[in-house]
Structure 1
């Protein structure tokens, strides 16, 4: 195993990068996975994929695939944290992850300069969030109600709420949790909203659950105003999706097929490509990731990891962490956009984008072939 670290353990940088370029450049089908990095590294990874004919699978590939599948099938209605904070008179929160996101983006905070002075009070409906005792719902929240539900099984509850709001007959979910009476009361509260916001976690619901959540939102828009707010995919996945859209026209998994980007969530699933043996070399781009996925093999893998992270791979290259060792552009959920983050503790550690760029130069120069 070749390693580049702050302590210069292992091979020198030039030798390790040459070995990494050889693994990727000679592969029949290289896989570039993770993309848990800043925008510059993501763009450099796309350029390397174009050069080598690689498949690309972000760490957030599963979540992006589910969200894009639901979007393609039935569309979506979403808003930003700022609009939700200023407009909503009812916030419906489905599950603990959605509640954590709502708190993180300041959804319950009182705006210093409200855009809409007429919106001074709001209600909150929590679904499967427990008692949420530590949450401060802010001075503008006048009532918090709870719909008891298993947070691991929210899809049947959303389906029941949608049916009740539409006036359809329904039966209680398994285990009578929540009760029919509670579902009916919650549906009435949702229908009474002047501007409602449903907060849910796409990663926890899957494609079918996303369709149910968005179906409820769209049903409510027949008579009132309703929209949704969701946390972004983990590990800077939203930045990878946005960069994919403006670079190759694809927001998630894709592969360069004879120089043309092709999107296929099954075909270019990194786990499947490795298990089937189709991918014979992997570049893991993960300065923001807590570790390598368990499906990555040590043989044939080049791993770009944060300093000090243990990784089983043929070549391990320690790179700086964006926002700590160097500045970088990351997706910021509260602002709902890309933002540049200044380095908290600047260091001379190499940037992932620079390492990927050097690998491309070596491959393009023929040293890896």
Structure 2
């Protein structure tokens, strides 16, 4: 596997030693990205713990849109498998949902299980246009945008106000669905609209059955949430500077911490494909699955889960962590192994026990 320092190819051991020196000398290192498999993410959190750093995954924006609503109102959701098997009414909110592979899968067949088996599956788009092969009714979006439209729909569905025929009909569809599912991208909706949507579904379920199916981000954010929960008991973002895990979305925001001069070294982990930050957040060290060598001061190539090594990753189509065997196994250092070695070497340089 390849490694680079300042764009020049070097021996991997030399790159690991240089990267460990960067971490050891940092006052507050940040382990960021975490676009990796379970073992890689766990090793990234462990590295932050042993060197007193912070952890901020690349998927934080999308995660916080979903987690904020969950923290405020709880949730009432379903899984992709249940939606495929049972849903007789689908509402796709936003452009990401309308263009998603999940919506295409739902449009390719009807419900086959339970009381909805054999029913015609209806699909409605709100704020997005599905591909031509997806039959749908496209309701107009309120000029104020998705948050206001969802709020209006909630009020109409609860019978608190009257609205135009399109919104009234959509509310009636949700109320009368035998197994309704709302697909959306939390990152596109934002915190306010995501919370409003969950509260709409909770109210609908007083008399109907209607569930949320949020789309997972493309950066293994759901995997980070799971690993973080069982590793530290906390969601990201986290910091370990005071000896134990602390959760604070503001303090441990990578962009804010770098701008404020608090973080002085960024270690970027993306054994799966993800953009590497530029500008002030450009990493000093990058562990990447398919690097060019120009992404950071020190770049170390690591194995790609499901391609050159085995790994467990988030499977959006199934809504679970799933094992992926290597398609073309290679003798390559994994992200977890590289991060473990960096942690031990950084502690040795700090003259602390590993």
CA distance in 2, matches of 1:21, 1:151: 53
Offset at 1:127? 1.0
Offset at 1:118? 4.6
Q: Does 1:201 align with 2:185?
A: yes
Structure 1 vs Structure 2 CA RMSD: 2.4
Q: 1:152 to 1:181 in 2, by over 3 A?
A: closer
Greater shift in the superposed pair: 82-91 or 49-58: 82-91
CA distance in 1, matches of 2:280, 2:118: 51
Match in the other structure for 1:339: 322
Q: CA deviation digits over 1:247-284, x for unaligned, max 9? A: 11122211113221111101000011111110011110
Q: 1:201 to 1:87 in 2, by over 3 A?
A: same
CA contact 2:174–2:210 (8 Å) conserved in 1: no
Q: Does 1:229 align with 2:221?
A: no
Match in the other structure for 2:289: 306
Q: Does 1:360 align with 2:343?
A: yes
Match in the other structure for 1:162: 154
CA contact 2:268–2:287 (8 Å) conserved in 1: yes
Offset at 1:41? 0.7
Offset at 1:235? 1.1
CA contact 1:41–1:353 (8 Å) conserved in 2: yes
Match in the other structure for 1:120: 118
User: Among 248, 252, 255, which residue is 2:232 paired with?
Assistant: 248
Q: 1:25 to 1:150 in 2, by over 3 A?
A: farther
CA distance in 1, matches of 2:321, 2:104: 15
Q: 1:329 to 1:316 in 2, by over 3 A?
A: same
Per the normalisation by structure 2, the TM-score is 0.91
Offset at 1:98? 1.4
CA contact 1:160–1:170 (8 Å) conserved in 2: no
User: Among 282, 289, 300, which residue is 1:317 paired with?
Assistant: 300
CA contact 1:95–1:127 (8 Å) conserved in 2: yes
Offset at 1:131? 5.5
CA distance in 1, matches of 2:80, 2:212: 10
SS for the counterpart of 2:217 is coil
Structure 1 spans left out of the alignment, 5+ residues: 138-143, 172-179
CA contact 1:291–1:309 (8 Å) conserved in 2: no
CA distance in 1, matches of 2:351, 2:145: 50
Q: Does 1:264 align with 2:263?
A: no
Q: Does 1:280 align with 2:264?
A: yes
CA distance in 2, matches of 1:118, 1:321: 41
CA distance in 2, matches of 1:228, 1:194: 14
Per the normalisation by structure 1, the TM-score is 0.87
Q: How many residues align structurally?
A: 348
Runs of 4+ in 1 over 6 A off after TM superposition: none
CA distance in 2, matches of 1:311, 1:185: 54
Offset at 1:77? 0.8
Q: Does 1:88 align with 2:87?
A: yes
Q: Does 1:27 align with 2:26?
A: yes
Q: 1:246 to 1:105 in 2, by over 3 A?
A: farther
Q: 1:63 to 1:84 in 2, by over 3 A?
A: same
Q: Does 1:327 align with 2:310?
A: yes
SS for the counterpart of 1:188 is helix
CA distance in 1, matches of 2:271, 2:207: 47
User: Among 155, 165, 185, which residue is 2:169 paired with?
Assistant: 185
